[in-house]
Structure 1
Amino acid sequence: MSSVEELTERVRAFARERDWEQFHTPKNLAMALAGEVGELLAELQWLTPEQSAAVMADPELGPRVRAEIGDVTVYLVRLADVLGIDLVTAALDKLSEAGTRYTVEAARGRADKIKDA
């Protein structure tokens, strides 16, 4: 599988085959997505910055983090599909907006939030 479109179709078919479309409301999917993000956070919560950067090298923790990212991705893809949002376009639009707000000159090397103009 190499594209967001292919993944979207696979997730859509998975839900359809199980008659889960009835449960896949935007609210339910957003809540499930938040839960999965929480599970991902739980895997990283008590790691040092150095440990979190090297997490995928850990033979026990790495696969768990990968699985949680998979869960997050599936729910995000499904939510976008149900809402009719093209994920790549939405991400590119957001990146463009962020580039306008966080110019290289204003944001380089800074982690603080830049106030709206």
Structure 2
Amino acid sequence: MKEIMEEVLAFRDERNWKQFHNPKDLAISINLEAAELLELFQWSAEDTSVEEKRDQMKDELADVMVYCLLMADAIDADVEDIIRAKMKKNAAKYEVSKVYGSKKKYTEL
């Protein structure tokens, strides 16, 4: 994770874009890129969308992930630490014995 983060930050810094990367604008950018990913599924069956648009999906997913890494940098969050912490919270909310094979939200269990 450290290497890809360094690569993303180097790309940003080479272009002097950090000045534009405040949390508000990065949150907006994450949403916009996620919407572009979602748009690839619009008006099509899910199974055909994946096969026909896999390369576009990879590009849009990468855009979302890059903006997420930039957001982590902007709020001084270690990506690995915050993911591990969130997984611990999720494990407590979604105990295997209660949710195995279920798509219900923890509040519906």
What SS is found at the alignment partner of 2:106? Answer: coil
Deviation at 1:78, TM superposition (A): 0.7
The total of aligned residue pairs comes to 108
1:46-65 correspondence to structure 2 within 5 Å: 46-51=43-48, 55=50, 57-58=51-52, 61-65=53-57
Query: For structure 1, which runs of at least 5 residues remain unmatched after alignment?
Result: none
Distance across 1 between alignment mates of 2:4 and 2:91: 28
Instruction: Give TM-score, length-normalised by structure 2.
Output: 0.89
Deviation at 1:80, TM superposition (A): 0.4
Name which of 7, 10, 15 aligns with 2:7.
10
Q: Provide the alpha-carbon RMSD of the alignment.
A: 1.6
For residue 58 of structure 2, what is the aligned residue in structure 1?
66
Query: For structure 2, which runs of at least 5 residues remain unmatched after alignment?
Result: none
Instruction: Give TM-score, length-normalised by structure 1.
Output: 0.83
Deviation at 1:49, TM superposition (A): 4.2
1:37 alignment partner AA: A
> Aligned in 2, Cα 1:47/1:93: closer, same or farther, shift over 3 Å?
farther
